[in-house]
């Protein structure tokens, strides 16, 4: 990154940090108590500020949910569009970038994603419709790249919609099982999902030629699932607010 690019990026302010703290606290409460069971006082107490101070950043808990949705769902759509619309990018490279971006977004915002998945129906219009449109757009971008790979002979002949649903599902599932303290880092999980997905779409002859690499990918996925299993075996801890 050039020095000019660094200068162009706005620096986080104290207000930005406080705003993120509020969203993080709201996410934990929305998961623990449900969106309907959480009120403004709960969030203010968790952050350690007054209701008046909280209202400076967000006028309601619905506005917090809107912000969380923009941070995850709408950003996912923008990221996917930035790749799928590059027709000169080979389908294999495009799909890998799509997966790394989408999985990376989920892995870096697991709580937020879980909140949005569970509480999207509580969004007021037009935000709910915008979120639904963003989800459809992500699917469409994946389908577009996969179908292009099929048409160009880089991927085997299969149903592009089912393949896209399956891959997006693997990425989204990470929000429920990924443990940042586990043996496999977020980048390794994203790479494993990308490798696993791409090899599943390769034509049969290409799969045979790359059998050794496929074994490595399966080994990485096994490590990720082991981390998931260890996470499930942990005793749940009570959240202290």
Taken in order of first residue, the domains within the chain and their CATH numbers are 14-59 (1.10.10.60), 61-233 (1.10.357.10)
Tally of residues, the chain: 241
Higher per-residue pLDDT: 233 or 236: 233
Q: What share of the chain is helix, strand, coil (3-state, %, to 5)?
A: 75, 0, 25
Banded pLDDT at 3 (limits 50, 70, 90): very low
Stretch 25-47: mean pLDDT: 93
Tell me what pLDDT residue 211 has.
Answer: 47
CA atoms within 13 A on the CB side of 240: 1
Banded pLDDT at 240 (limits 50, 70, 90): very low
CB 23 within 8 Å of CB 85? no
Stretch 44-53: mean pLDDT: 92
Q: Tell me the C-alpha distance between 88 and 217, whole Å.
A: 27
Quick check: 232 pLDDT over 60?
no
């Amino acid at each position: 990154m050039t020095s000019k690019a660094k200068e162009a990026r706005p620096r986080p302010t104290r207000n930005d940090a406080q705003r993120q703290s509020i969203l993080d606290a709201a996410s934990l409460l929305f998961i623990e108590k449900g969106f309907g069971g959480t009120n403004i006082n709960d969030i203010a107490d968790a952050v350690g500020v007054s209701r008046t101070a909280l209202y400076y950043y967000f006028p309601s808990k619905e506005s917090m949910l809107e912000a969380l949705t923009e941070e995850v769902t709408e950003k996912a759509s923008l990221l996917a569009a930035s790749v799928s619309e590059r027709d000169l990018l080979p389908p294999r490279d495009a799909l890998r970038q799509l997966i790394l971006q989408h999985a990376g977004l989920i892995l870096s915002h697991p709580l937020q994603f879980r909140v949005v998945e569970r509480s999207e129906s509580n969004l007021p219009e037009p935000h709910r419709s915008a979120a639904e449109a963003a989800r459809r757009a992500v699917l469409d971008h994946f389908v577009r790249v996969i179908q292009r790979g099929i048409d160009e002979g880089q991927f085997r002949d299969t149903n592009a919609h089912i393949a896209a649903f399956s891959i997006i599902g693997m990425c989204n599932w990470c929000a429920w099982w990924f443990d940042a303290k586990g043996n496999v880092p977020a980048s390794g999980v994203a790479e494993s999902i990308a490798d696993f997905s791409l090899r599943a779409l390769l034509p049969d002859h290409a799969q045979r030629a790359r059998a050794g690499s496929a074994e490595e990918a399966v080994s990485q996925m096994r490590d990720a699932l082991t981390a998931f299993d260890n996470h499930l075996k942990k005793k749940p801890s009570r959240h202290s607010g």
